[in-house]
Amino acid sequence: MRIAVIGATGVVGGTILRVLEERNVRVGTLLAYASRDRADGVQFRGAKVPVAAATRERLIADRPDVAFFASGDDASAELARALVEAGAVVIDNSATFRMADDVPLVVPEVNPDAVREHHRIFPVANCTAIVLTVALAPIERAVGLRSVRVATYQAVSGAGRAGLDALAREEKGDKPDGTFAAPIYRNVVPQVGGYDGDGDTGEEKKVVAETRKMLGRPGLAMAATTVRVPVMRAHSEAVFFETKEPTTVAALHDALRDAPGVVLHERGIVTPREVEDTDQVHVARVRPETEDPTGTHFQMWVVGDQLRKGAATNAVQILELLLSRRILRQAQDDTVARHDVAGAAEAKNAAQPAPKGEPKQWIPTR
């Protein structure tokens, strides 16, 4: 299997390479790309892999079976569909395709059945929404959700290498460089993304819209306030939720304890520093709201690594899901069939002499 990583030199791309190694994904050929050629390359399974500039022509010529995008929206918008047309399956960490009606937004622990055989583009959801949805899904399955309110405390890694570098420089005494809306060192910044006309930020709108899509609840009452904090790479979330059915903390614990991808802390706390470089979503401090006579209002604390479960690990888990359901094999078979048909037609056309005075017509292949 030929696997391409577009954005291999970035923090998410580098983490994808690491997760592919750790999870022993069978990679026949690794193809690494960035915005330009990089002489130093990247390391994968002890070997140096050259990094090429990610151009449409180069990517299509290299014919990957799977292409991970770990770059910006512009690269995905420009290149993803061309790769699909050339036969690749695309797993995209940008926001470009997340809310498209014909594209599934998959977290394997939450909604694996959203995948269909004809799907070829698989976005990785917003990192904050992934962490939130992994914790909410078992509650939705057990007793249903009527509403969700969340305040997030998001690590600087969510802004990529620029965010990590900005915090490191400010810790050394450098002036803020504008990466965040305000100084990040010894501060919290209640703005992640630009504002819309109603006062919400882009990040807040993503968290709401994507959580609804992944849970299959387009009408779920939701609100989010997203805050950037001087933490390296794990997001934290204070979640306030109302269930459809009356329930108890013990019943919620049962649902969370058995849920895939969740680590439940029935007592005590969990902090972002503790969960850095892990793949699970940690849930603690599940408790009822005081003086609630209905037994439907609860709170919990949720923490997950932004670079791993919020991005790279979820991307690799999508690949594993496609392999387990033979959807990737089907995509490869479809591509071979398409090339065979086009090649046969071209050969037939080439064998027939063109009429005098007219140029020979070639059937294009894609």
Cite the beta strand spans of 124-181 per DSSP E. 145-154
The span from the first CA to the last CA of the chain, in angstroms, equals: 20
| Max Cα–Cα distance, the chain, nearest Å | 91
Contacts of 283 (CB under 8 A, 6+ apart): 135, 256, 262, 263, 264, 265, 300, 301, 302
Residues 148/220, Cβ–Cβ less than 8 Å: yes
Catalytic residues: 127, 235
- In this structure, what token pair is assigned to residue 201? 């930020």
> Cα angle vertex 7, ends 92, 97, to 5°?
20
Q: Which residues pair with 304 in a beta bridge?
A: 235
CA distance 237 to 311: 17
Q: Which residues contact 323 (CB under 8 A, 6 or more apart)?
A: 329
Paired tokens of 260: 């895939």
* Residue bearing tokens 């940690």: 282
CB atoms within 10 A of CB 71: 25
C-alpha distances in Å from residue 223, one per residue of 139, 159, 244, 248, 326 = 18, 22, 17, 23, 38
Q: Over the Cα atoms of the chain, what is R_g?
A: 23
- Residue 53's DSSP bridge partners are 34
> What single DSSP character describes residue 200?
-
Q: Are 56 and 64 a contacting pair, CB within 8 Å?
A: no
